[in-house]
């Protein structure tokens, strides 16, 4: 059986910086409230006309990952695209990447697992590599949240948290014992509507929304039960990290770098304390980007690597929790 290894990483975030102070001019909020509850100081938002879409941001991140991986784009056997904000309702954004990267008829698959999307994609890539079916897989996590958020006071509990951006990794077959040790995935669909975009959807088609002509209807904005999400997140993050460690007969003190999905700095700090990790063993960049959902782990992984915080031989743990609810972890011997 083959091993899979991350051999290149890249990220792209829009240039347009939106600070907490900027938000105070369009909604009733404050820098202090946002920082105290989430740790977020600023995020990036696509600007109308800047040419960025979920797919094009993914392409920009992917080009960097491919270059760093030192592989030819035509050697990519599969594109996995994790997002909750695809360019179109259908088809998925992966095929747009295939076209824009100009990789003839490369299969492309979208993964719809929100904040856990990157871990689900990594696990999927690992299986394709382990079976021998594919050798080089491009994974992208990308989100365009900003255009679909309620940027009025009514939506402040959700809209201050999310930002736009993309991260990408190239995963390849490896012959040595380094690389992905294991991945662990879970979901609990009873909580589907606790963090969801209800409509437009096949549950509530656009003509139905238009016909209802209900000015109170805000089902086309994301809905989040923040406290329920928070309570479940801290439990599930801890469980799924522990599950990964135990599966590999490892203990928390052997973690060199934990890269949690950047949901909320308070959640990351809770996990850090729970596992007794120091500040330099947990990578956080939510302060600068907010929650970029499927983009968050590959963006953070790229930055941690660029800042030389991950070394050969390190035990790197990735973990995520989010809408679905879904959650998962990945353990990597770097
Ligand atoms: C969203 C979150 C920051 C809200 O914090 P909270 O302590 O739960 O706050 P509440 O929702 O109870 O709101 C408290 C008050 O602040 C207000 N408020 C909400 N958003 C606000 C904002 N951006 N600015 C100022 N006030 C705000 C609320 O209206 C409420 O006011 P009230 O007491 O007058 O009704 C927190 O629940 C959270 O982080 N949850 C997890 C979210 C997450 O990680 N999501 C991504 C999952 S992948």
User: Residues 306-317: pLDDT tens digits?
Assistant: 999 999 999 999
26 phi and psi angles, rounded to 5 deg: -120, -10
Share of residues in the chain with pLDDT > 70 (%): 100
pLDDT band with cut points at 50, 70 and 90 for residue 209: confident
User: Residues 59-73: pLDDT tens digits?
Assistant: 999 999 999 999 999
Mean pLDDT of 153-167: 98
Mean pLDDT of 264-287: 98
Kindly report the CATH class assigned to 3-176: alpha beta
Residue 176 has pLDDT above 90, yes or no: no
pLDDT band with cut points at 50, 70 and 90 for residue 295: very high
Q: Write out the two tokens for 15.
A: 């240039």
Regarding the beta carbon of 226 and ligand 1, being less than 6 Å apart is answered yes
- Residue 87 has a CB neighbour count (10 Å cut-off) of 18
Structural contact between residues 204 and 196, judged by C-beta atoms closer than 8 angstroms: no
Burial of 309 (0-12, 13-18, 19+ CB in 10 A): middle
Report whether CATH 3.40.47.10 matches the domain 180-333: yes
What element of type H or E holds 108? strand 108-111
pLDDT band with cut points at 50, 70 and 90 for residue 203: confident
Ligand 1 centroid from CA 226, angstroms: 6
Alpha-carbon distance 131 to 147, whole Å? 40
Catalytic: 291? Answer: yes
Identical fold between 3-176 and 180-333 = yes
Q: Among 3, 20, 45, 115, which one carries the catalytic annotation?
A: 115
Domain ranges for the chain: 3-176, 180-333
pLDDT band with cut points at 50, 70 and 90 for residue 219: confident
Ligand 1 centroid from CA 37, angstroms: 7
Share of residues in the chain with pLDDT > 90 (%): 92
Bridge partners for 166 per DSSP: 12, 142
- Which of 33, 34, 37, 150 for a ligand 1 pocket mutation test, highest count of atoms within 8 Å of Cβ? 37
CA separation, residue 82 to residues 9, 26, 56, 110 (Å): 15, 30, 14, 6
Residue 94 has pLDDT above 90, yes or no: yes
Residue 261 has pLDDT above 90, yes or no: yes
């Amino acid at each position: 059986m083959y091993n899979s290894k991350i051999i290149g990483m890249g990220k792209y975030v829009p240039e347009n910086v939106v600070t907490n102070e900027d938000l105070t001019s369009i909604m009733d909020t404050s820098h202090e409230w946002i920082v105290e509850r989430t740790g977020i100081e600023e995020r990036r938002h696509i600007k109308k006309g800047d040419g960025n879409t979920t797919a094009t941001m993914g392409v920009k991140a992917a080009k960097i990952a491919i270059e760093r991986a030192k592989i030819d784009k035509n050697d990519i056997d599969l594109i996995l695209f994790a997002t909750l904000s695809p360019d179109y309702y259908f088809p998925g954004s992966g095929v747009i990447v295939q076209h824009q990267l100009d990789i003839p008829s490369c299969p492309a698959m979208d993964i719809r697992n929100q904040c856990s999307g990157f871990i689900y994609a990594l696990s999927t890539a690992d299986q394709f590599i382990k079976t021998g079916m594919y050798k080089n897989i491009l994974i992208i996590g990308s989100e365009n949240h900003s255009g679909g958020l309620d940027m009025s006071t009514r939506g402040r509990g959700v809209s201050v948290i999310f930002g736009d951006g993309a991260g990408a990794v190239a995963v390849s077959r490896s012959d040595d014992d380094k690389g992905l040790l294991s991945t662990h995935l879970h979901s609990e669909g009873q909580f589907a509507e606790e963090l969801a975009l209800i409509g437009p959807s096949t549950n509530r088609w656009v003509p139905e929304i238009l016909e209802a002509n209900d000015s109170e209807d805000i089902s086309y904005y994301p809905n989040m039960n923040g406290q329920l999400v928070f309570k479940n997140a801290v439990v599930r993050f801890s469980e799924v990290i522990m599950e990964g460690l135990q599966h590999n007969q490892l203990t928390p003190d052997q973690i060199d770098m934990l890269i949690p999905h950047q949901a909320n700095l308070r959640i990351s700090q809770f996990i850090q304390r729970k596992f007794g990790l120091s500040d330099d063993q947990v990578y956080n960049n939510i302060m600068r980007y907010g929650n970029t959902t499927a983009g968050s782990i590959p963006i953070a992984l790229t930055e941690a690597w660029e800042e030389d915080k991950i070394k050969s031989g390190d035990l790197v743990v990735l973990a995520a929790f989010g809408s679905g609810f879904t959650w998962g972890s990945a353990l990597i011997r770097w």
